[in-house]
Structure 1
Amino acid sequence: MLSTIGVAATLFAASNIDDIFVLLGFFGHRKFHAHQVVIGQCLGFAVLVAVSLVASLVSLVLAPAYVGLLGFLPILIGLKKLYDLWRGGDDDEASTPKPGLGNIFAVAAVTVANGSDNIGIYTPVFATSTKAEIGVTLAVFATGVAVWLIFAHWLVNHPALGAPIRRYGHWLVPFALIAIGAFIIYDAGSLALLQVSSWPTTGI
C-alpha cells in the first residue's frame, strides 16, 4: 500500500511539475476567476486519466510482461524532455487562451494539451496495476490535483518563491520519468523478454 502511494505520488509530481507554471499563469491572469481555474483543471485532468484507463485495457489480452514494455514510453518522454532542455527549449509551454472562449473549457483544454504526454506515462502504470492499486493511485492523483491548485494559488502571490522552481524544476522531471519507466519494466518482469537467451530459436 505504502509503495503504491509512493509510486503514485512520484508519478503525479514528475508528470505535472510543468503544470504548476500553467496554473500560475491562469491564477495570475485577471480574466480568470479562481473557481474557473479549479474546475477547468479538474476537468482536464479527469480527461487525461480517463483516456489512460481506457488505453490500459490492453492488459486484458496481453501478459503483464508484454504490457510492462509500455514502460519505455515514459523513458522516451523523459529522454525527449532532456533533449528539449539541452536545446534550450520546452514544447510543454502553454499559451494564454484567446478572449471569448469559455474560461473553464479553456483551462481544461490547455490542461489536456499540456498534459498529453501523461497518457503515455499513466497507461502502463494502470495496465500493470490491480484494481485496488488503481483506486489508491486515483486517490493520490485527486489529492495531488488539490495540492497543486492550492500551492499554485498561494505561490502566485509570492513570485520570488517561484523563481528557483522555474530555474531548476524542469531538470528534475526527465530523470523522474526515466526512473518511473524503468520501475514499470522491472516490476512487470519485462526484462526477461529483453534477454536474447529467452527468445525462441529455430532448429536449423
Structure 2
Amino acid sequence: MLEAFILQAIGLFIATNIDDIIVLSLFFARGAGRSDTTAKIVVGQYLGFGAILVASVVVALGARSFLPESVIPYFGLIPLALGLHAGWQVWRGEGDDDDDDARAAGKPLSAATVAAVTFANGGDNIGVYVPVFVTVGTAGIIAYSSVFLLLVGGLVLAARFVATRKPIAARLERWEHVLFPLVLIGLGLVILLEGGAFGI
C-alpha cells in the first residue's frame, strides 16, 4: 500500500511540477554568480510548495472556507505583477549594467519572491492534489506529502543543473532580463485565463 502511494506520488509530482524547472532555471540565471542564490531558491521553493501542500490538505479535510476554489485563479496576479515590475525595470534600463563584474555577480533574489511565484504557479497543483487527498485518507496524505517534500529538493537540483550547463547558461544569461518578465507575465495570464478569473 505504501509503495503504491510513493509511486503515485512521484508520478503526480512530476506531472504537476515539471514546468517549474523553467521558472527555477530563470531564477538561477538571474542570480548567477551570487553565493546565496541556491539557498534563497531552495528556501523559497520549499516555502511556496509548503504553502501549496498546506492549502491542499486544509481544503481536502473540508475547510473549504479557508480557500474557496473560485479564489485559486487569482493567484495568477502574483507572477503577473512581479513580471510587469521586472519588465518595467528592463524597459527603464535599470537592469542593464555593462560592468562585467556586476554582471558576473548576478541580480539579488529573495526567497519571498521565489515562494510567491511557486505558490501562485501552484493553483493547478491544489486543484489536482485536493481530490487525491480526499480519497487517500490521512496515511495517504502523509505519504504523498513526504514524497513531495523530498522531490522539491530534486526539482531545484534539476533546475540548477539545466541553468549551469554552459550552452544553456550562456543563453539564459544573455536573455534572462527579457525571458524572466515574459515567463512570469505569461504564467500569470495562463493561471488567470485557465481559471476563469474576472469571468474571462
Q: How does 1:17-32 map to 2 (within 5 A)?
A: 17-30=18-31
* Matched residue, 1:192: none
Contact 2:53–2:126, Cα closer than 8 Å, also in 1: yes
Aligned length: 132
Contact 1:23–1:152, Cα closer than 8 Å, also in 2: yes
* Matched residue, 1:45: 49
State the one-letter code of the partner of 1:111: T
Shift of 1:139: 1.2
Superimposed CA distance per residue, residues 100-119 of structure 1 (whole angstroms, 9 cap, x where no aligned partner): 99711111111111122111
Shift of 1:95: 3.7
* Matched residue, 1:150: 157
State the one-letter code of the partner of 1:43: L
Share of identical aligned residues, percent? 35
Shift of 1:6: 1.0
**Secondary structure of the structure 2 residue equivalent to 1:145:** helix
In structure 1, stretches of 5+ residues that fail to align are 60-90, 163-204
Contact 1:97–1:106, Cα closer than 8 Å, also in 2: no
Bigger CA drift: 42-51 or 24-33? 24-33
TM-score by structure 1 length?
0.57
Distance 1:130 1:24, change over 3 A: same
Separation (CA, whole Å) in 1 of partners of 2:142 and 2:45: 20
TM-score by structure 2 length?
0.58
Root-mean-square deviation (Å): 3.3
Q: Residue 54 of structure 1: which of 52, 58, 62 is its match?
A: 58
Contact 2:27–2:41, Cα closer than 8 Å, also in 1: yes
Separation (CA, whole Å) in 1 of partners of 2:150 and 2:131: 21
Superimposed CA distance per residue, residues 64-86 of structure 1 (whole angstroms, 9 cap, x where no aligned partner): xxxxxxxxxxxxxxxxxxxxxxx
Contact 2:57–2:141, Cα closer than 8 Å, also in 1: no
State the one-letter code of the partner of 1:7: Q
Q: How does 1:156-167 map to 2 (within 5 A)?
A: 156-158=163-165
